[in-house]
Amino acid sequence: MSVLLARVDNRLVHGQVLEAWVPYLEADLIVVVGGEESRDPFRRSLFQALSTPQVKVEVVAPEEAPTLVEREQAHRILLLFPDVDAAWKAFRAGLRFERLNLGNVHPREGGHRVTRTVYLTTEDEEELRDLRAHGVRLEARALPTDASPHPDAFLGPGGSDR
């Protein structure tokens, strides 16, 4: 499997991803993994319209992600999730990734700030701890050049962070 990075970013496909992360990773396939995004034909078509000859964009539901990634394993894949819950659902469905980047998680009710661009709820933290317990390395950075705080800084000690 050639998943280069899994990233939680409420904005999904936007300038920061296209101008910084895609070139940094040399990704040629962006997979947007989200329930609403996959069910809404208009939103799906907007994301797919961002495809270029160099970088294709696909949209799937969390439970469909493992099948798509398996089928597309010849590609250099960047996974984008709208929220932590979508990443956890996809992981539970069998999608494997070594690292989860928290890029942009906007403020919402019940959330607290953990970095300049990441706000987590108690539910987010529980799901991240579960991912961490399964060996997923966590980081929080908006750009590839940013430093990431150690996950203990935003989740507390425990788990594996190779």
pLDDT by residue (tens digit) across 95-136? 999 999 999 999 889 888 988 899 999 999 999 999 999 999
57 in a structural domain: yes
Q: What pLDDT is stored for residue 160 in this prediction?
A: 47
Exposure class string for 125-161: b at 16+ Cβ within 10 A, else e: bebbbebbeeebbbbbbbeeeeebeebeebbeeebee
157 in a structural domain: no
pTM: predicted TM-score of the whole model, two decimal places: 0.92
CATH code at 101? 3.40.35.10
DSSP assignment string, 45-62:
HHHHTT--SS-EEEEE-G
139 in a structural domain: yes
61 in a structural domain: yes
12 in a structural domain: yes
107 in a structural domain: yes
Confidence check: pLDDT of 137 > 60? yes
Host domain of residue 111: 3-143
Domain count, the chain: 1
162 in a structural domain: no
Q: What amino acid occupies position 11?
A: R
156 in a structural domain: no
